[in-house]
Chains A and B, each alone.
Chain A
Amino acid sequence: MKIYSNGVVANEDVSLDLKKGEIHALLGENGAGKSTLMKVLFGIESPDQGKILLKGQETAIKSPQDAIAKGIGMVHQHFMLVPSLSVAENIILGVAPVKGIFIDKKRAVQEARDIAEKYNFHIDVTARVEEIPVGVKQKVEILKALYRGAEILILDEPTAVLTPQETGELFVQLKKLKENGHTVIFISHKLDEIKEICDRATIMRNGRSMGTYQVAGMSTDEMSRLMVGREVVLKFEKKPAERRQTLMQVRDLTVHNSQGVLKVDHLSFDVKGGEILGIAGVEGNGQSELVEVMTGLNQNYQGTVRVANTDIRKKSIKEIRNRSLAHIPEDRMKSGCAGTLNILENLFSNQYERKEFSGRMFLKSREMQKKAKEWIAQYRVKCSSYKQKVGMLSGGNIQKVIVAREFSTNPSIIIANQPTRGIDVGASELIRRRLLEFRDAGCAVILISADLNEVLSLSDRLAVMYKGQFAGIFTDAEQVAEDLLGQYMLGIKKDEKLEGAIYESCETL
């Protein structure tokens, strides 16, 4: 079996070959192109170039149905199950055994039970899906694929939602599947797991495959270097940081997500005016949750967060923003802008109430237009006019609009969450320079980024977040080697004692 795929941006010259009866890891950071490659294999997206060979024959996978028919099954990260139906009903959905015009319920249950037993999955097939725990739901997903005759099983970050015990159980079952001649593609960025169960690993970075390796003959260090290695070194003329008063204080912050999973674990740190605190880490290690609390989007937390010396508990987002905090959100389409509104409207969404732009009854449109033109020029937003809808712009230009808006209020604290993700080099450069300018002007900047290049070259101090905690903190970010950083990011290394997260001078909380 051999698979070549070739896309433009997401995947370029990727080749991946699978052997029957192996567990093959697909390793890479978020945005490295793993998901795109899998979407191609599962027929959700079609490759622009390249070919897919299945059992030595060239095939085109046109749709997920087609993929299923060809023996490829996928377990999505977000489960594709119908909660109110039973396990058996979910398994047979769409291919139900019938007796006359009715579903043969007995046979459906029996068939579901048979397949569960065959692969040693101990689950009650008559239970409703909404009543079973996450780990079991995942088993149902796997059974669903197996029931449809899957020979190749794609598991998209299967352990992300599992407890360690459930993960252990899953691994036992995956090994069993392997013995039965099934091929498993295991997508992950957790090196220890890959070491544990995978035979071979294909490592991806920036949409390219960095080669396929025997897992047994490779150390986790080597893997992490291939995964997060730095290609080009960004250079910025950076003045030494002139630290001023502390503007952001976080003490003992603990956050659980809506499912009750611990996402931020007793985190404490300070940020002073005039410095950039970089927070590096693989996505999903609590960065988003941390930002949500600091910006007031999530009020459900334990601990204290002080913005410019004010406890933000029970403060509205507006009140927090009025303490001159600016936020560049990670998902620019979802929470960064309103796509169907025009550029001007988006530019003023955080400040339309300001006296300069709003009278008693009406907005002062002339002033707003003047400012909008000014900002568009300043941030080099490529558009036909300020009347253009933001949703029609390119990613980089949307980000420029958001950044222009956030920076135009002259903030003293900037929280930039993945500010340059997925945008072109020019726009990234502009945004990074602006961040440095604000830092030099005395602004406290918190830069959360998965891009090592970015955090290494911009940060004054650098923290690495892993499983809701800082695994390490470096007070001189420029001296950090990326290999070392990679090990912290992937949880291979972890400092027991953290120094430099908190400034002594402000232990007055």
Chain B
Amino acid sequence: MLNGIFSVEFVNSILRATTPILFATMASSVAAKAGICNMALEGMMLLSALFGVLFSALGGGIFGAATGLSQFASFGVGFLLTVLVGGIIGMIFAFCILQMKADEILAAIALNLVASGGTIMLLMAVTGEKGASNAIASVAAPKVTIPLIESIPVLGKILSGQNLLTWLSLLSVVVMHLFLYKTPMGLKIRAVGENKDAAESVGISAKKVQYIALTISGMLASMGGFYLSGGYMNMFTRDMAAGRGYIALAASSMGADTPIGGFLVSILFGIAQAVANLMQLTTIPMQLIQMIPYLTTLIGLGVYSYVRMKRRKRLLQSE
């Protein structure tokens, strides 16, 4: 067990577990900064996991799913289409809550339930199976091998050979940070999320800004979903999001909805997941082990609330 923890494989397994949560955490951050709790992340991820398999199989059909360049091209088609659909789902969600004034939590629950049932129905319609997409020849995201670094001991095995999407998820942290804190649109998003009236009083359309934020949120969530069926695993299985959308909500909120903070907490959850994976080799009952990531979420949220409460108390006293 300890040997397992101090191995290169374990670090890789952390990164593997972190990637989908990280995408979803960024998705949650951008929505939260715009003042919306995007609880629909779970459903968005699940839908994208299935679309990822379907679209990359489509890409495979066009380019052939061999190796090298054609693998990259078919993955590219699948990925881009999935992200596009993810953006559209985000927009539909935005339409429901901003235009139709549906309660954001209820709309999210509806979307999550539709995703859970809808993906199985769609899978059934396409493959005739209800559980998994074994029958579809989907194309997974390529791994990135870095020629020189590859040969460095330990570090080389970590830096090289990672899934392309893992790199992309790390990049998304930087991009989201720059976007939210350095661009005019980011400033608008933060202003709308914090004081809608103030933003509107200077002529910012809060609705438009929230539409944009939710579209971006949907796109990021779909990247996380794509990774689940095209990286973490090589197929779609029913309900494979497995609460990651909710974990991401917790991670984002614990990280004060900032990309950097969310990134750090995501890694924590990644570690919990990796430990759980590792412990499956022991004799401890499976059910207990599977609780670990969720238990970590619960404890994390508890700690977060406690710290925030203390901080607020101190602020009140200092006044």
- Residues of chain A with a CB closer than 8 A to B244's CB: none
Contact (A84, B201) CB under 8 Å given A98-B184, A101-B183: no
- Residues of chain A with a CB closer than 8 A to B184's CB: 96, 98, 103
- Residues of chain B with a CB closer than 8 A to A90's CB: 198
Instruction: From A75-83, A169-177, A206-214, A352-360, give the one contacting chain B.
Output: A75-83
Nearest A residue to B195 via CB reads: A82
B178 touches A102 (CB 8 A): yes
B204 touches A103 (CB 8 A): no
One digit per residue, 1 when the CB lies within 8 angstroms of any chain A CB and 0 when it does not, for chain B 13-57 equals 000000000000000000000000000000000000000000000
A68 touches B195 (CB 8 A): no
Set A64, A82, A103: member contacting B191, Cβ < 8 A:
A82
Docked complex Cα distance between A103 and B187 (Å): 9
Set B187, B194, B203: member contacting A83, Cβ < 8 A:
B194
Docked complex Cα distance between A411 and B224 (Å): 63
- Residues of chain A with a CB closer than 8 A to B188's CB: 93-94
B203 touches A85 (CB 8 A): no
A144 touches B194 (CB 8 A): no
Asked if A313 is at the interface of the complex by the 8 Å CB criterion, the answer is no
Asked if A148 is at the interface of the complex by the 8 Å CB criterion, the answer is yes
Asked if B199 is at the interface of the complex by the 8 Å CB criterion, the answer is yes
Set B178, B194, B197, B203: member contacting A94, Cβ < 8 A:
B203
A68: shortest Cβ distance to chain B, in Å?
Answer: 6
Asked if B182 is at the interface of the complex by the 8 Å CB criterion, the answer is yes
A82 touches B190 (CB 8 A): yes
Docked complex Cα distance between A18 and B288 (Å): 75
One digit per residue, 1 when the CB lies within 8 angstroms of any chain A CB and 0 when it does not, for chain B 194-231 equals 11011111111000000000000000000000000000
Asked if A322 is at the interface of the complex by the 8 Å CB criterion, the answer is no
- Residues of chain B with a CB closer than 8 A to A79's CB: 198
A-B contacts counted at CB < 8 A amount to 61
Asked if B319 is at the interface of the complex by the 8 Å CB criterion, the answer is yes
B319 touches A93 (CB 8 A): no
Contact (A144, B195) CB under 8 Å given A103-B182, A260-B319: no
- Residues of chain B with a CB closer than 8 A to A289's CB: none
Set A80, A84, A102: member contacting B182, Cβ < 8 A:
A102
Contact (A93, B187) CB under 8 Å given A102-B182, A148-B202: yes
- Residues of chain B with a CB closer than 8 A to A126's CB: none
Docked complex Cα distance between A148 and B204 (Å): 13
Docked complex Cα distance between A103 and B195 (Å): 20
Set A83, A98, A101: member contacting B195, Cβ < 8 A:
A83
Set A81, A101, A105: member contacting B198, Cβ < 8 A:
A81
Q: How many B residues touch A, CB cutoff 8 Å?
A: 19
A85 touches B191 (CB 8 A): yes
Nearest B residue to A74 via CB reads: B201
- Residues of chain A with a CB closer than 8 A to B195's CB: 80-83
Which residues from 159 to 200 on chain B have a C-beta closer than 8 Å to any C-beta of chain A?
178, 182-184, 187-188, 190-191, 194-195, 197-200
A84 touches B194 (CB 8 A): yes
Nearest A residue to B197 via CB reads: A80
One digit per residue, 1 when the CB lies within 8 angstroms of any chain B CB and 0 when it does not, for chain A 426-448 equals 00000000000000000000000
Set A83, A94, A260: member contacting B204, Cβ < 8 A:
A94
Asked if A65 is at the interface of the complex by the 8 Å CB criterion, the answer is yes
Contact (A102, B319) CB under 8 Å given A64-B203, A82-B191, A93-B188: no
A82 touches B194 (CB 8 A): yes
- Counting chain B CB atoms within 10 Å of each CB, which of A81, A89, A260 scores highest? A81
Nearest B residue to A66 via CB reads: B203
A93 touches B197 (CB 8 A): no
A94 touches B183 (CB 8 A): no
B182 touches A85 (CB 8 A): no
Contact (A103, B198) CB under 8 Å given A93-B188, A94-B204: no
Nearest A residue to B184 via CB reads: A96
A80 touches B201 (CB 8 A): yes
- Residues of chain A with a CB closer than 8 A to B190's CB: 82, 84-85
Docked complex Cα distance between A81 and B197 (Å): 9
B184: shortest Cβ distance to chain A, in Å?
Answer: 4
Docked complex Cα distance between A65 and B204 (Å): 9
- Counting chain A CB atoms within 10 Å of each CB, which of B187, B190, B191, B201 scores highest? B201
Nearest B residue to A148 via CB reads: B202
Docked complex Cα distance between A105 and B194 (Å): 20
A303: shortest Cβ distance to chain B, in Å?
Answer: 22
B202 touches A94 (CB 8 A): yes
A65: shortest Cβ distance to chain B, in Å?
Answer: 4
- Residues of chain A with a CB closer than 8 A to B204's CB: 93-94
Contact (A93, B199) CB under 8 Å given A82-B191, A85-B190, A260-B319: yes
One digit per residue, 1 when the CB lies within 8 angstroms of any chain B CB and 0 when it does not, for chain A 60-76 equals 00001100100000101
- Counting chain B CB atoms within 10 Å of each CB, which of A79, A89, A93 scores highest? A93
Docked complex Cα distance between A217 and B198 (Å): 39
A82 touches B198 (CB 8 A): yes
A64 touches B201 (CB 8 A): yes
Nearest B residue to A91 via CB reads: B202
- Residues of chain B with a CB closer than 8 A to A82's CB: 190-191, 194-195, 198-199
Docked complex Cα distance between A493 and B184 (Å): 53
Docked complex Cα distance between A64 and B319 (Å): 34
B191 touches A76 (CB 8 A): no
> 7 closest Cβ contacts across the A-B interface?
A80-B198, A65-B203, A80-B201, A94-B202, A96-B184, A102-B182, A82-B191
Question: Which residues of B does A touch, CB under 8 Å?
Answer: 178, 182-184, 187-188, 190-191, 194-195, 197-204, 319
Told that A81-B198, A94-B188, A94-B191 touch, could you supply 6 new A-B pairs with CB distance under 8 A?
A: A68-B203, A76-B201, A93-B204, A94-B204, A96-B184, A103-B183
A-B contact pairs, 11 of them (CB 8 A): A64-B200, A64-B203, A68-B203, A74-B201, A76-B201, A82-B191, A82-B194, A83-B195, A85-B194, A94-B191, A103-B183
